[in-house]
Structure formats: structure tokens, C-alpha cells
């Protein structure tokens, strides 16, 4: 691999980080007096400014806010930040390297999204009474219109309308086409393979992000007290291209509620082809032990849903074993779905679709007799909420199978003195990403409630010798990924990282003779709601 190709490979593999800055109309108005000190004379003269005093002040406040935010990433005073437009007319930094950004304003509110990747963002103030029908009929595609028509009430209809609209505008900003590209989005095939994320900013606002790859972090930044009325240097900080993915090691690592959140899904496209291959090998190793217990609960001609299907191995195995069943795989990652469709898409009775768990089933989709969540909960910040979302995919009385691991139950022979530290570090990284690598033992308690009736609970693992042989190819790439994340986030001392990396080398050299990696499997029935 030459140097250019290697750089492109690393750039494609690195995590995507996003920071959001939301200012209200009062804050924007208070920043307006700073614009004359921040903007050059040419910018003040050349940029069109509305004659209306309120609109003019908002324009000036937005210009000041953007340069203050970008200056904080560049280590520059806001007045030193210069902007230009690329060939598509998309704003960018002029003559200096730095983060990518996108901004949106509506009724005085202002939102900026800053990232190390190309990005688009849109913000709208939700206004009841808008003529949704005319706008939707003109600009929405058939699937989007069907979602609106299936809304149970006007509040949900309004929410779905604005979510769909902000996604479209964010996507157009990512592509740099502006609203001129809106007509093309009526055709579903014109939607590029991008990541769209809805933002929960504040009551009464709708906003969405568009990125070419899924974000590892979406972090909300808080405008400092006095920042709106202080000097133009208020936000100046030490120079860096983008904020680190993890808080500094000397600070509390728990995420402040409402301030930052990890991406809700662990996606194959974060890591690329190597992760795809590892997951394929992992699934192949344990599939023969998982499948019988799952098939026992599936009617001969029933409907099966794999929630978080990854590269599609489990869904394909079910389709082969039950040719009369309807088998569907859903995943939040476009790359995973593309792989699944390419490998198994021609098998009768088997389909794959890119869709997030919390969105619920597509309109008109038949509810499932059996659903599976296989190594999905461990990557989600709120397992209980995910389980509640899973109920929407199941028939009343349908069965949900959950399979998870638990690092605390893994054993290696000979005993490795660095292994406990590795497991602690992996758990620390997972918690910050938004998840838990130690859910396996907790599955029965997660399903202990009136909405579920537990039907079975078991634990199994492969032969210890087979597992030991698979560790270098299956477990080790996972461990190395977590250690690289810990290194980047300053979560461990350099000597600890070095000791772990030396341990990995020992495993590759054949030091491991036996290993046990249990899988915890619980299945439960979706208890029907009591009749009213």
C-alpha cells in the first residue's frame, strides 16, 4: 500500500466527531455589536445586510457567532477567521486548515455543527398550522408520504413532517446543492448513502444532521456565561482541529445529561472492511449453537426479523432452515445492508433494509412472530428503551431472542495478568461511547417486568480449544480497537497501553492454549396489552 492509499485508508477509518452550538435569538442579538470588530471592512460592505433593523442585527450576530466558534477550534481570534465558498457555493475556511462546518438559522435561532468530516445541518422552528399537505405532496416521496398518512394524531404528523424536512435540507447542505437539489429527492434512488441523525435540542425545535459516515460522537457545546456580551476573544481556546472524542483524563467521564451523547448505533462503517470480516467470522463460529434455540420458536410460515442484522449471516441461516418463512434483516448501517444484499439478496423470502430500531417497522410491514437482537444492546446507551422499541416490531405474543456477551465471564489459559485491565478499559470506552460490555448476566433482570414473559435462559460457549484458536482472528481485533480508542482519549497511561499491546503480541505468537467466551441467550414473549 503506497503512502497516499494508506493515508486515505486511515482517514476513512477514523471516528467521526460532531459538536453542536445552539444559540437563541437573545444571544444572537447580543453578539451583533461585536460583528464590526470581528468582520473585515470588505465583509461588512460586501455581504448583503437586510434593511430591517432586527434582521440586520441577527445577520451580524450570526456572522460573529460563527467566527467565534471556528476561532475556538483554530486557536485564532475571531477576527482572524476568514471564510470563502467552494465551487458549489458551500461555505468553508479560506486559506487555512481546520474543521468542516454547517450552519442553519430560523426565526432568530442559530445552530452550527462542526466536524472533522463533511457535514450538513438544518434547524426549523416547529409551527402548528403549517399547510403540511401541500408541502409534503410537492416535495416528499411515496414512502415519506405513507409515514405521514400513518400518523396516529396531528402532533405526531407535525413532528414527522419537520423531521423529514430537516433531513432533506441537511442532506442538501452536505451535498452543497442547496434547495435547488430538492426536486431530485422525491425519487428514492437519488438519496445517496449518507448518515442522517435527528437532533433532540429543545422543545419546539426540529433539527437533523447529515454526514457521509456515522458519527462516533454528537456532543452539545454550551455557550459560556457572558460569552454573548463579552469580548470577541471569549471562546478562544488552545489550538486543535477538532475536539477530542473523549473528555480529558483528569475530568469526570460521565456524560452530562443533555450536553453530549454518543451515536446510538455501533456501525460497521466506523471501522470498515476489517470489522465486516471479523463479524462474519464471529457469527460463523457460534451460529450452529444459536440457531436451534431460535428456530424452536418460529412457526413454519412465520415472520422473522433480525434487528441489527449486520452482514446478514443469521438472517440467511434462518431463511435456509425455514424456506416457508418470511425473513427480514434490518440494520442502521448502510454498509452492512449493502453487504447483506450483495451476499444474500437473491434468496427467496429474504430481504434487507437500512432502518434504525427506534424508528419502528416500515409502514405496512407485517409484525414479527420472532425477532432477534444479537450483540445489539451492548452498543446502545439505554437497553430498556431499546427493548421497548423492539416490542413495536413484534406481534402480541411474539418472541424476542436476545444474545449478548459479558467480559466478566471470559477466561483465558494460561492466566494473563493484564486481562482484567483490558476488560476494564474496554468497558470504560464502551460506557463513553454509550453502551455496556457486561450485559450478558443482566439480561433476565432487563426483561423482568409486566411487558415480557421470560420463556428461556441459557449460557453456552464453543469448545475451549476452538475458541483459543479463534481469539487472534475474532477477539483480538476488537480488543485492539478499544485500546486505540483509549489511547486517543487519554484513558490509560502509556505504560498500560504498551503492556496491553505486548500481551496482544504474545497471543499472536501462540501463548494461549484454552479460552472460554460465553454467550448469554434469553428469550421472552411480548405480553399483549390488557384489553381496555
pLDDT tens per residue, range 223-267 = 765 444 444 443 432 222 222 222 222 222 222 223 333 333 334
Helix (H) or strand (E) holding 389: helix 383-391
- Terminal C-alpha separation, the chain: 66
**pLDDT tens digits, one per residue of 456-512:** 999 988 778 878 888 888 888 889 889 988 887 788 999 999 999 999 999 988 889
| Beta carbons of 368 and 394 less than 8 angstroms apart | yes
Q: Which range marks the domain in which residue 70 is found?
A: 13-117+221-233
In a domain, 6, yes or no: no
Co-location of 410 and 465 in the same domain: yes
Mean pLDDT for 107-122 is 92
CATH at residue 101: 3.90.470.20
Residue 251 lies in a domain: no
Query: Which pLDDT does position 258 carry in this prediction?
Result: 33
Tell me if 247 is assigned to some domain. Answer: no
pLDDT at 115 over 60: yes
197 shares its domain with 276: no
Q: Give the CA distances from residue 68 to residues 72, 239, 466, in Å, rounded to whole numbers and listed in that order.
A: 6, 13, 57
DSSP output for 148-162 = HHT-SSHHHHHHHHH
The C-alpha atoms of residue 242 and residue 22 are separated, in whole angstroms, by 18
CA 19/CA 70 separation, integer angstroms: 11
Q: What's the average model confidence in pLDDT over 361-390?
A: 92
pTM: 0.55
> CA–CA separation, 38 vs 60, rounded Å?
10
- Given a cut of 80, whether residue 348 has pLDDT beyond it is yes
Mean pLDDT of 422-444: 91
Q: Could you tell me if residue 74 is inside a domain?
A: yes
Q: Extract the C-alpha cell encoding 473.
A: 482472528
- Taking alpha carbons only, the member of 456, 457, 453 closest to residue 527 is 453
Q: Residue 269 pLDDT > 50, yes or no? A: no
C-alpha cell belonging to residue 419: 486481562
- Residues 67, 161, single domain; the answer is no
- For residue 347, what is the DSSP state? S
Residues 79 and 38 sit within 8 Å (Cβ to Cβ): yes
Left (φ > 0), alpha (ψ -120 to 50) or beta: where does 349 sit?
left
State the CATH number of the domain containing residue 180: 3.90.470
**Dihedral sign of CA atoms 384, 389, 390, 392 in order:** positive
Domain count within the chain: 3
Q: How far is CA 135 from the centre of its chain?
A: 29
> Among 117, 81, 78, 103, which Cα is nearest to 20's?
103
Do both 285 and 334 map to the same domain? yes
**Residues 186, 111 within the same domain:** no
Q: Do the bridges between strand 514-516 and strand 411-413 make them parallel or antiparallel, or are there none, so unpaired?
A: antiparallel
What pLDDT is stored for residue 469 in this prediction? 83
Helix extents (H) in 398-508: 419-433, 443-446, 464-488, 494-508
- Asked whether residue 41 falls in the same domain as residue 159, the answer is no
Q: What is the mean pLDDT of residues 37-54?
A: 71
CATH label of the domain that carries residue 368: 3.40.50.150
In a domain, 176, yes or no: yes
Same-domain status, 205 and 318: no
What is the structure's pLDDT at 441? 92
The answer on 320 and 204 residing in a single domain is: no
Starting from the edge strand earliest in sequence, which strands make up the sheet with 260-262, in order?
A: 100-106, 109-115, 17-23, 217-221, 260-262
Same domain, 109 and 147: no
**Domain-embedded: residue 242:** no
What is the Cα–Cα distance from 334 to 339, expressed in whole angstroms? 9
Residue 415, Cβ density class (10 Å: 0-12 exposed, 13-18 middle, ≥19 buried): exposed
Same domain for 138 and 99:
no
Look at residues 199, 332, 171, 196 and name the one whose alpha carbon lies nearest to residue 260.
199
Distance between CA atoms of 425 and 491, rounded to whole angstroms? 8
Residue 244 included in any domain: no
Within 13 Å of residue 220, how many CA atoms lie on the same side as its CB? 14
Do 415 and 473 fall within a single domain?
yes
Asked whether residue 263 is assigned to any structural domain, the reply reads: no
DSSP state of 509: T
Whether 123 has a pLDDT exceeding 80, the answer reads: yes
Single out the residue of 379, 382, 400, 398 nearest to residue 332, CA to CA.
379
- Write out pLDDT tens, residues 292-340: 889 999 999 999 999 999 888 899 989 988 999 999 999 988 778 888 8
Looking at the structure, tell me whether residues 66 and 141 fall in a common domain.
Answer: no
- Cα 263 to Cα 1, 42, 121, 208, 397: the distances in Å are 31, 41, 16, 13, 31
Amino acid at each position: 500500500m503506497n503512502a497516499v492509499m494508506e493515508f486515505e485508508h486511515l482517514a476513512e477509518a477514523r471516528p467521526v466527531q460532531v459538536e453542536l452550538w445552539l444559540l437563541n435569538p437573545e444571544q444572537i442579538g447580543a453578539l451583533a455589536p461585536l460583528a464590526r470588530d470581528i468582520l473585515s471592512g470588505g465583509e461588512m460592505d460586501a455581504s448583503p445586510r437586510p434593511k430591517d433593523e432586527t434582521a440586520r442585527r441577527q445577520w451580524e450576530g450570526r456572522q460573529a457567532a460563527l467566527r467565534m466558534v471556528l476561532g475556538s477550534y483554530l486557536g485564532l481570534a475571531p477576527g482572524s477567521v476568514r471564510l470563502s465558498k467552494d465551487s458549489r457555493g458551500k461555505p468553508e475556511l479560506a486559506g487555512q486548515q481546520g474543521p468542516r462546518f454547517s450552519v442553519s438559522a430560523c426565526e432568530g435561532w442559530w445552530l452550527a455543527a462542526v466536524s472533522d468530516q463533511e457535514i450538513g445541518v438544518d434547524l426549523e422552528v416547529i409551527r402548528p398550522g403549517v399547510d403540511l399537505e401541500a408541502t409534503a405532496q410537492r416535495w416528499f416521496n411515496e414512502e415519506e408520504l405513507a409515514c405521514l398518512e400513518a400518523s396516529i394524531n396531528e402532533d405526531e404528523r407535525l413532528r414527522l413532517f419537520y423531521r423529514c424536512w430537516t433531513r432533506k435540507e441537511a442532506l442538501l447542505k452536505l451535498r452543497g446543492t442547496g434547495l435547488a437539489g430538492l426536486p431530485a429527492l422525491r425519487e428514492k434512488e437519488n438519496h445517496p448513502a449518507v448518515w442522517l441523525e435527528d437532533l433532540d435540542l429543545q422543545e419546539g425545535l426540529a433539527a437533523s444532521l447529515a454526514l457521509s459516515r456515522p458519527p462516533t460522537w454528537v456532543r452539545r457545546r454550551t455557550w459560556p456565561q457572558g460569552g454573548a456580551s463579552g469580548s470577541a476573544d471569549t471562546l478562544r481556546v488552545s489550538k486543535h482541529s477538532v475536539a477530542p472524542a473523549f473528555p480529558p483524563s483528569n475530568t469526570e467521564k460521565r456524560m452530562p445529561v443533555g450536553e453530549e451523547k454518543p451515536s446510538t448505533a455501533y456501525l460497521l462503517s466506523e471501522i470498515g472492511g476489517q470489522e465486516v470480516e471479523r463479524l462474519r467470522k464471529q457469527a460463523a463460529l457460534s451460529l450452529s449453537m444459536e440457531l436451534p434455540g431460535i428456530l424452536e420458536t418460529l412457526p413454519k410460515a412465520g415472520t422473522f426479523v433480525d434487528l441489527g442484522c449486520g452482514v446478514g449471516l443469521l438472517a440467511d441461516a434462518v431463511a435456509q432452515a425455514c424456506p416457508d418463512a418470511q425473513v427480514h434483516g434490518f440494520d442502521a448501517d448502510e454498509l452492512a445492508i449493502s453487504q447483506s444484499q450483495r451476499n444474500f439478496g437473491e434468496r427467496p423470502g429474504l430481504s434487507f433494509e437500512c432502518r434504525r430500531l427506534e424508528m419502528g417497522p416500515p409502514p405496512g410491514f407485517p409484525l414479527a412472530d420472532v425477532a432477534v437482537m444479537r450483540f445489539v444492546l451492548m452498543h446502545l446507551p439505554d437497553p430498556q428503551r431499546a427493548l421497548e422499541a423492539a416490542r413495536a416490531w413484534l406481534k402480541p405474543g411474539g418472541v424476542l431472542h436476545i444474545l449478548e456477551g459479558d467480559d466478566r465471564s471470559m477466561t483465558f489459559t494460561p492466566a494473563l495478568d493484564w486481562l482484567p485491565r483490558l476488560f476494564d478499559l474496554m468497558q470504560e470506552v464502551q460506557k463513553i461511547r454509550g453502551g455496556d460490555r457486561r450485559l450478558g448476566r443482566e439480561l433476565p433482570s432487563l426483561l423482568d417486568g409486566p411487558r415480557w414473559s421470560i420463556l428461556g435462559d441459557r449460557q453456552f460457549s464453543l469448545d475451549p480449544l476452538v475458541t483459543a484458536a479463534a481469539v487472534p482472528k475474532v477477539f483480538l481485533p476488537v480488543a485492539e480497537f478499544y485500546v486505540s480508542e483509549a489511547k486517543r482519549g487519554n484513558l490509560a497511561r502509556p505504560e498500560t497501553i504498551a503492556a496491553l499491546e505486548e500481551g496482544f503480541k504474545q497471543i499472536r505468537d501462540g501463548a494461549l492454549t484454552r479460552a472460554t467466551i460465553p454467550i448469554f441467550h434469553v428469550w421472552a414473549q411480548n405480553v399483549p396489552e390488557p384489553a381496555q
